Structure 1
Amino acid sequence: MTTMLKAQYSERGPVPQAVIEAVPFERPTLTQGQALVAVLAAPINPSDVLMLTGQYGMLPPLPAVGGSEGVGRVIELGPDTQGPAVGQTVLLPAGSGTWASHLVAPAARLLPLPNDADPKQLAMLTVNPPTASLLLSDFVQLQPGDWVIQNGANSGVGSYVVQLARLRGLKTVNIVRREAAVAGVQAQGGDVVLVDGDDLAARVQTATGGAAIKLGIDAVGGKATMRLAGTLAESATIVNYGALGGEPCTVSPRELVFRDVTLKGFWLARWFRVTPQPQQLALLTELANLIAAGKLSTPIQASYEVAQIKQAIAAAAGERQGKILIVPAQD
C-alpha cells in the first residue's frame, strides 16, 4: 500500500498554504463500528481556506486535518461492524478531515453512492449542491417560469443554482464580477449573465422584460447586496450565504422599509444541525442521483495529490475558473 498521508495544520495564519503540510501516518487499527476508507476525491471550498486563516464562523480544534467533504471507497470494516461493503463508494461524513489518502469514519455515517458515477463530481455533493437546492426552495415559493437573481454566479454554489433552477423550470439572472466569467456561466445554462455595476437594476429590467423577481441570492455582501436588492420586486427576499467581497451586507432603508425587501441568512452547517437525518439523506440522495445521471456538475480546474497540498491551497485561494480538488494517488 502507498504511504498514507493527511494534510494537517497546527496553527492558523493569513497565508493559508503556509500553515498546512502533508504528514504521513500509519495504517490505523479499527475498532467495532469503524470503517477505513480510501479517499477518492475531496474539494477545497472557500470555507476550508477560511478555516486555515481563522476567519470562518466555526473552527475545529487544532491540530486538524483539512477538508470538509469528499467521497471514498471502503477498504476495511472493523470487527463485528455492519455498513457499506468493502469496495463501495461512499459519501464521507461532513467535517471529517477529507484531505487525506485514507481516513477512519463511523461505518453508520457512510452514505453509499453509485459506484459507476464520477467520483470527482460526487466529491462536491455535501456542501454546494444542497446549499443551492435549499436556497431555491426554503425561502420563497417559486413556480415554473419565475425568475431568480444571484451574484457570485460563477462560484460552485452559483453553478448548481443555475442547473437546479433550469431543472425546476426557473429562469436565472446571474451576476458576476468580471467579464471573463460571463462565458462560463452561460455555458452552465444561465439565462441572463451580467457583470455587476451601478446600473445593474436597469440592465436586469431590460434583460428580463421587467419581470418581478421575488428571490435574490447573495454570495458577495457589501454594496453588491444593495445592488441586488434594487433589482427585486416589492416584498421580495434576499438570502445571503457568503461574503466574497469581504464586507458586511448593505441594504438601504428604501429597500427594507419602503419596498419591504427582506434580508435573511443561510448557513448549511446549521441546516445539518437542526434538520432530521432522514430529511438530510433524502436531499443528498436526490442530488447524488442527479450527479450520477450527468444532470448536475460543476467545472473542475485542477486536481492535486495530498503531497501537493500547499500548491493546491494556493491555487484554490487565487483566481480560477473551476474547483480545485485533492485526488489522492491510488494503489
Structure 2
Amino acid sequence: MKRVLYRSRGPVPQQVVEVETFDPPALAPGQVRVEVLAAPINPSDLLTLTGEYGSLPPLPAVAGNEGVGRVVELAPGLDAPALGQTVLLPVGSGTWTTHLVADARALVPLPDGADPLQLAMLTVNPPTAQLLLTGTVPLQAGDWVIQNAANSAVGGYLVQLARARGVRTVNVVRRESAVADVEAMGGDVVLVDGDGLVERIRDATGEARIRLGIDAVGGTATARIADALAPGGVVVNYGAMGGEPCTVSPAALIFRGITLRGFWLAHWYKVTDAGARNALFAELVSLIASGRLKARVQAVYGIDDIGAAIGAAAAGERSGKVLLVPSGDPVSHRSRHG
C-alpha cells in the first residue's frame, strides 16, 4: 500500500510530498477499509500543501481532500456497506493513497456503474457550483447569471446546472483559447475579460438585468463583475485566482446597492446537517451517473507520478481536471475527456 505524505509545507507543492509505503492498520469496530479508485487534484489541495488554505491539517499528513473508493474489508460485526460497494470518501480524509480506513457511517454509497473519475470529483466542485447558483439570489428560468473563471471546474459545472434550470449564463474567461470549451459546455455568452467588458456584456445580453455575479478571480475582475450587475445585485466571491484582494468601487456599493459576499464550501459542510448534505449529494449523483453533469478530465496519473501530476494540476492553461488513480491501472499523462 502507498500514500502521498507531506511533512512540511512550502511554495512549490510537488517538492513537499513523498510517496510512502505503509502496512495496513487493523480495523477498529465500525471501520472499513477502502481501496481508493480515483482522487482529483484541486486548487484547495495545492493551497493546503503550500500552507495558504483556510484550514490546515496537523503535520505529517496524507494529501488529498476528496475521492471515491471501493469497500474491500469490514471490521468484525459490520454488515454494511457491502463488500465491493462504491463509496464517496469523507471530506479531508487523505485520499491520495491506495487504501484508507474510514468510519462506515461516514461513507456515502454511490452507483457502481458510474464513471469513478466523474464520481471522484463530487465532493467539492459540483456542490460549490450548485450552492453558488441557488444559495444567494432566487433565479427563475430566463434569468441571467454572470461568472468569471468560467473555464474552471466549478465554472463548467455551473454552466451545466444553470442550463438545466433554464438560467442563462454570461461566462468570462481570461484567454481567447478558453472560449470554445465554455461554449461547448453550453455557455450562452462567453467573453474574454478586459477593457470594455461591461459594455460587451450589455450588448450580448440585450442589456439584461443580471442580479447574481460569481467571482473566483478577485482584484479588479471583481469590480467588473459588480459593474455588470443590476442595482441591488450580489457578487459572491469563492476564490482569488488572480492573487489580489477583491475590489469593488464605493459607487457600486453605495449608489447601486451592490453586495459582496464570500462563500467557502468547508464552512457550509460544518454548519449544514447531514440530511441537507445527503440531499444535495443525491441530486448531484443522479446527474453525474446519468451523464448530464460532468467535468473535462485532462489527464490521469498513478500515485508514483505524483510530482508530475501536481505540476500538471498547477499549470495555468489546463483543459480539464487532473486526477490520481492510486490503486488502479492509470492512463498516465494521457488525456481523458468527459
- Same fold per superposition (TM over 0.5): yes
Displacement of 1:73: 0.3
Tell me whether 1:208 sits opposite 2:198 in the alignment. no
CA distance in 1, matches of 2:24, 2:209: 58
Does the CA-based 8 Å contact 2:150-2:171 persist in structure 1? yes
Does the CA-based 8 Å contact 2:3-2:21 persist in structure 1? yes
Does the CA-based 8 Å contact 1:73-1:89 persist in structure 2? yes
Q: Which amino acid aligns with 1:175?
A: V
Tell me whether 1:247 sits opposite 2:240 in the alignment. no
Displacement of 1:83: 2.6
Q: Which amino acid aligns with 1:53?
A: T
Runs of 4+ in 1 over 4 A off after TM superposition: none
CA distance in 1, matches of 2:51, 2:195: 33
CA distance in 1, matches of 2:79, 2:219: 49
Identify the residue that residue 225 of structure 2 maps to in structure 1.
Answer: 228
CA distance in 2, matches of 1:108, 1:236: 41
CA distance in 1, matches of 2:45, 2:24: 25
Does the CA-based 8 Å contact 1:83-1:108 persist in structure 2? no
Displacement of 1:27: 1.8
Q: Which amino acid aligns with 1:85?
A: A
Tell me whether 1:131 sits opposite 2:105 in the alignment. no
Does the CA-based 8 Å contact 2:64-2:92 persist in structure 1? yes
Q: Deviations over 1:245-300 (max 9, x none)?
A: 00110000110000000000000000000001100000011101100000000000
Identify the residue that residue 53 of structure 1 maps to in structure 2.
Answer: 50
Q: Which amino acid aligns with 1:154?
A: N
Identify the residue that residue 159 of structure 1 maps to in structure 2.
Answer: 156
Give the TM-score normalised by structure 2.
0.96
Identify the residue that residue 199 of structure 1 maps to in structure 2.
Answer: 196
Which of residues 13, 17, 39 is equivalent to 1:16? Answer: 13
SS of aligned partner of 2:141 = coil
Which of residues 313, 318, 321 is equivalent to 2:319? Answer: 321
Q: Deviations over 1:69-117 (max 9, x none)?
A: 0000000011112431000000000000001111001011110000000
Q: Which amino acid aligns with 1:263?
A: L
CA distance in 1, matches of 2:94, 2:185: 30
Does the CA-based 8 Å contact 1:7-1:100 persist in structure 2? yes
SS of aligned partner of 2:309 = helix
Q: Which amino acid aligns with 1:22?
A: V
Q: Deviations over 1:179-235 (max 9, x none)?
A: 111111111110000000121100000000110000000000000000111111000
Displacement of 1:243: 0.4
CA distance in 1, matches of 2:40, 2:267: 21
Displacement of 1:159: 0.4
Q: Which amino acid aligns with 2:48?
A: M
Q: Which amino acid aligns with 2:267?
A: R
Which of residues 138, 141, 144 is equivalent to 1:144? Answer: 141
SS of aligned partner of 1:153 = coil
Q: Which amino acid aligns with 1:136?
A: L
Displacement of 1:329: 3.4
Which of residues 103, 108, 114 is equivalent to 2:105? Answer: 108
SS of aligned partner of 1:264 = strand
Q: Which amino acid aligns with 1:325?
A: L
Pairing 1:177-326 to 2, within 5 Å after superposition: 177-319=174-316, 320-326=318-324
Does the CA-based 8 Å contact 1:6-1:100 persist in structure 2? yes
SS of aligned partner of 2:224 = helix
Consecutive unaligned residues of structure 1, counting only runs of 5 or more, are none
Q: Which amino acid aligns with 2:58?
A: P
Q: Which amino acid aligns with 2:287?
A: L
Consecutive unaligned residues of structure 2, counting only runs of 5 or more, are 330-338
Displacement of 1:307: 1.1
Q: Which amino acid aligns with 1:155?
A: S
CA distance in 2, matches of 1:55, 1:240: 17
CA distance in 2, matches of 1:243, 1:63: 27
SS of aligned partner of 1:248 = strand
CA distance in 1, matches of 2:286, 2:113: 11
Displacement of 1:330: 2.8
Q: Which amino acid aligns with 2:215?
A: D
Identical counterparts, % of pairs:
63
Q: Which amino acid aligns with 2:28?
A: T
Displacement of 1:156: 0.7
Tell me whether 1:75 sits opposite 2:42 in the alignment. no
SS of aligned partner of 2:102 = strand
Does the CA-based 8 Å contact 1:82-1:107 persist in structure 2? no
Give the TM-score normalised by structure 1.
0.98
Q: Which amino acid aligns with 1:204?
A: I
Identify the residue that residue 27 of structure 1 maps to in structure 2.
Answer: 24
CA distance in 1, matches of 2:300, 2:15: 19
